[in-house]
Chain A
Amino acid sequence: MKPKRCQNWWWGVVAVWVLGGLASSLSAQQPLTQLVSQVHPKVVKIYGAGGFRGLEHYQSGILISPEGHVLTVWSYVLDTDNLIVHLADGRRVEAQLLGADPRLEMALLKLPGEGYPHFKLEPVVLEPGAWVLALSNLYGVAVFDEPVSVQHGVVAARVPLRARRGAYDTPYRGPVYILDAIVNNPGAAGGALVDRHGRLVGMIGKELRNSLTNTWVNYAIPIDRLLPTIEQIRQGRYVPPKPEESSQVRNPVTLELLGIVLVPDVLPRTPPFVEEVRPGSPADRAGVLPDDLILFVNDQHLIQSCQALRQQLQKIPRGETIKLTVMRGQELRELVIKTQ
């Protein structure tokens, strides 16, 4: 009976992992608790917007540079001017949002000062069966100097989430680590997945429910997928824009020209939601719809307010074709507007 033999072999492999993992850690328990204490200070608690109607106002973050760069998930929690980070030593500092890429569901924060404990960024890729620890502030159980929670698990697979097309409500389209530990809890998003050497291998993603089976997936976004964007955002922070780029062009594009009316700009940072699209306008022809949230113009920095959008448009001369990235419901759309 061939299939059965196959199963036998597979179980053997599982047993080797499990026994190997257990035994080495049992006989040498100190290194595991030591590993935890090494990585604990590199994971932070983030407090921002939310706190009502089942929306937690907290999430987790990962320190990735001595200058206080914090990798986390892009979410409504970051949508505030008062972003507070609790460090493992109990310090509370204000964080600044450097940039975000909603397609990777990631954001980069910057803390003031330097000398932070941090993970080294390296393109580590894990194979299925690899043993991992997940560190996050799930359920917000830890505050101030209390260490974040630690869970253990095994990488079950590295697969694209879209393998179940339409089942998961996420703009992320790349591969994920599927885990056998229940790591994606409220507040856990942005936490660190580390391997047994304490290396950062992934970022715990937001809670995702499979709408077909009503089950929850446990996953992390592999660090190798995030590295290029992290680097871009960091460089964007440190390389000041060239003078000609920041200066206005002679004949810039305007919202009126495109036929877009935004929601009233009443907040310090009103999200650039489309209120109305003038019929027959370039925006209308490109398929822009009311309630679209404008995220990017020509793939530049994330646009965080109506004002930022207007400033961005001032850099684009009339007659150019504009690529607009919008969020429609849970979906990201790229629309091309011809201004001529």
Chain B
Amino acid sequence: MVLVSGGLATGWAEDVPPQVLQDQQRRIEVIRRARAATIAIFGPGGRGGGSGVIISPDGYALSNFHVTSGAGVAMKCGLPDGNIYDAVIVGVDPTGDVSLIKLLGREDFPTVPLGDSDQVEVGQWCFAVGNPFLLATDFQPTVTFGIISGVHRYQYPAGTLLEYADCIQTDAAINPGNSGGPLFNMQGELIGINGRGSFEKRGRVNVGVGYAISINQIKNFLGYLRSGRIVDHAELGATVGTDPDGRVVVTDILESSDAYRRGLRYGDELVEFAGRRITSTNAYKNILGTLPRGWRVPLVFRRQEEQWTVLVRLQGAHRPGELQQRLQRRRRPGPNPGPQKPNDHHSPKLPPVVAKHYEARPGFANYYFNRLEQKRVQKLLDKLGHFSPSSRWAFAGEIPGGLKAQVVLETDRVQLILPGGTTSLEINQEEPNLTQQLSPPGSGGLVQALYLWRRLLCQRIEHFGGMYYWGTVPLPGHPGLVDCLVGLHGGVETRVYVHPQDGRILALEMFADDQSDPCEIYFDDYRRVQGRLIPHRWEVHYGDDVYQVFKWTQVEIQQR
């Protein structure tokens, strides 16, 4: 460094075109900003460690699951400004090797912007920032520079849970300790989280081949991670292979899967998945590996000359509880509890500031953050207005063909009047059971779903019954991602989709069991009724069919 500036002073700088010096100055500035948000992560007592990067001023930071899992709940994070902050685990994605943590104690942390990793091209310059070989004992991160060597790489699970799908390959030096740290484009936008190298016979050092989890995959999971859950990746419920003609075809399919119910069969050729073309099994795995469990994405498949486009709900890559079990197995101290011995969740040794931000619950990395998100979504729902628990809601309007329809919703009663007849549902408030007599026939349980819709607005998230924040998901016909709540009441699973800005309930789904289609209601045409926002158009779907479209002309909410 000294030598180079010496050279500048002795005159060769005059030969350097001004454009070069300007570009260099710009690069220095970009790297300065990128370094400021890069953190060194250490486990309890300064053990273990890796890197991370802050993505919001209130301290949310990304890292690798394999970095934070050693630390458990609480960790210490060093910033390049020389300060050290307590941090708490928020959510983990063990399969994708991503974890979200939150640094505590400031609302103005330096941050980096998230880039678009689908725009990353091979040959483009990039740089990695991090804590290789845990050198950053003074929290000053190391910057390494390189080019993008490959994109959309698929790396098989390396004997563990960790699968790197659709990842970015770089020749910027990625060494142990860089794990969890950021990979940037030359605009200083975060394009990936460095997590894996090809370490083989040369020992655990860089061999010019590093892999970063693409930021677009992480964006898919970010809402899930903020929910404080242990989140799972997706499976289609089918296995695929390449046939002799090089087509990607279904080699096996579960009859209980949504893909099967949507018509996918053995031997069908997969053409497009989640909006991307499938040219090889690697391409398929790349797409699948970036998708969270529970998302509903378009699938295009072909059988002989016919082609279908369907929406499929993705099931979990792991059985319910399997991830948690696996994680607990990892946590159980072995016969030789070395320095990596993780912090006990219920240990009274959690720093007080961390303890205030931590709540243990099965299936969650940290339930505290789920409560936080529930509060945020409840605030959104409150924008619709106040609904008294004993209110009576009456709707009158018509269905296609100009036929009259009526719905009445009360605390313990739902009544649906259609030209063909009347459907009523009485709910025992002591022991509600909604799994019986899904009605009307062909709707998948519309009256039950309506009862649940009213229940959420009247009882709110807190008293709905087993309701928690699921994360952000795509919704058909809606751009971007929306907030999703999951509730368990009356023996059925309810999913509620909420507009992330204005709090409108965009859709509600009721699953009577996990192997059949839900009743779906899409709410639209919100209008004010006595100061409250009420949807005046309901579209009810069941399976592949539209069951009914209601347009309400008269709506009355009687508070009691």
Contact = CB atoms under 8 A, between A and B. Distances in A.
Interface of A: 7-8, 11-12, 15-16, 19-20, 22-27, 29, 32-37, 40, 54, 90, 92, 133, 138-139, 141-152, 181-183, 185-186, 216
A26 B149 contact: no
Interface stretch (B18-26, B436-444, B502-510): B18-26
Contacts of B478: none
Contact of A15 (B7, B146, B169, B198): B7
A139 B209 contact: yes
B4 interface: yes
17 contacts: A11-B3, A20-B16, A29-B186, A32-B123, A33-B122, A37-B122, A90-B280, A141-B155, A141-B209, A144-B282, A145-B280, A146-B282, A149-B150, A150-B149, A152-B171, A181-B171, A216-B202
Contacts of B7: 8, 11-12, 15
Nearest to B198: A139
A144 B280 contact: yes
Contacts of A92: 246
A183 B198 CA distance: 13
Interface of B: 3-4, 6-7, 10, 12, 16-17, 19-21, 23-24, 27, 121-125, 146-150, 152-153, 155, 169, 171, 186, 198, 200-202, 206-209, 246, 279-280, 282
Nearest to B206: A182
Given A16-B12, A19-B20, A25-B125, A145 B279 contact: yes
Given A23-B19, A144-B280, A185-B209, A7 B27 contact: no
Contact of B24 (A22, A143, A181): A22
Given A22-B125, A152-B146, 5 more contacts: A26-B125, A141-B153, A141-B169, A141-B209, A151-B171
Contacts of A34: 123
Contacts of A185: 198, 207-209
Given A15-B7, A32-B124, A149-B169, A27 B146 contact: no
A92 B280 CA distance: 13
What 9 pairs between A and B have smallest CB-CB spacing? A182-B208, A36-B123, A23-B20, A12-B7, A33-B123, A151-B171, A11-B3, A149-B149, A23-B23
B140 to A, nearest CB: 22
A8 B124 CA distance: 31
Nearest to B121: A33
A150 B186 CA distance: 18
Contacts of A182: 171, 206-209
Contacts of B125: 22, 25-26, 29, 32
Contacts of B150: 141-142, 146-150
Contacts of B121: 33, 36
A222 to B, nearest CB: 21
A28 to B, nearest CB: 10
A305 B210 CA distance: 41
Nearest to B7: A12
Nearest to B171: A151
Nearest to B173: A182
Given A23-B23, A151-B149, A11 B155 contact: no
Contacts of B198: 138-139, 185
Given A35-B123, A182-B206, A16 B16 contact: yes
B279 A90 contact: yes
Contacts of B19: 23, 27
Contacts of B149: 149-151
Nearest to B19: A27
Contacts of A142: 150, 153
Nearest to B16: A19
Contacts of A24: 20
Contacts of A150: 122-123, 147-150, 171
A29 B126 CA distance: 11
Contacts of B186: 26, 29
Most buried by A among B146, B147, B152: B147
A215 to B, nearest CB: 9
B27 A26 contact: yes
A216 B203 CA distance: 11
Contact of B152 (A8, A23, A146, A183): A146
Contacts of A8: 3, 6-7, 10
Nearest to B12: A12
Contacts of A12: 3-4, 7, 10, 12
A212 to B, nearest CB: 16
Contacts of B155: 141
B323 to A, nearest CB: 27
A143 to B, nearest CB: 6
Given A11-B4, A19-B24, A23-B24, A146 B280 contact: yes
A11 B208 CA distance: 24
A90 B246 contact: yes
A29 B10 CA distance: 30
A151 B122 contact: no
Contacts of B169: 141, 149
Contact of B122 (A16, A36, A216): A36
A155 to B, nearest CB: 16
A27 B23 contact: yes
Contacts of A216: 202
Most buried by B among A11, A34, A149, A186: A149
A145 to B, nearest CB: 6
A263 to B, nearest CB: 31
A54 B200 CA distance: 10
A22 B147 contact: no
Nearest to B3: A11
A133 B122 CA distance: 12
A22 B17 CA distance: 13
A231 B7 CA distance: 47
A183 B208 contact: yes
Contacts of B209: 138-139, 141, 149, 182, 185
A34 B209 CA distance: 22
Given A146-B282, A149-B169, A152-B171, A33 B124 contact: yes
B24 A152 contact: no
Contacts of B24: 19, 22-23
B124 A15 contact: no
A143 B146 CA distance: 23
A318 B146 CA distance: 61
Contact of A186 (B21, B152, B200): B200
A20 B20 contact: yes
A90 B153 CA distance: 15
B282 A151 contact: no
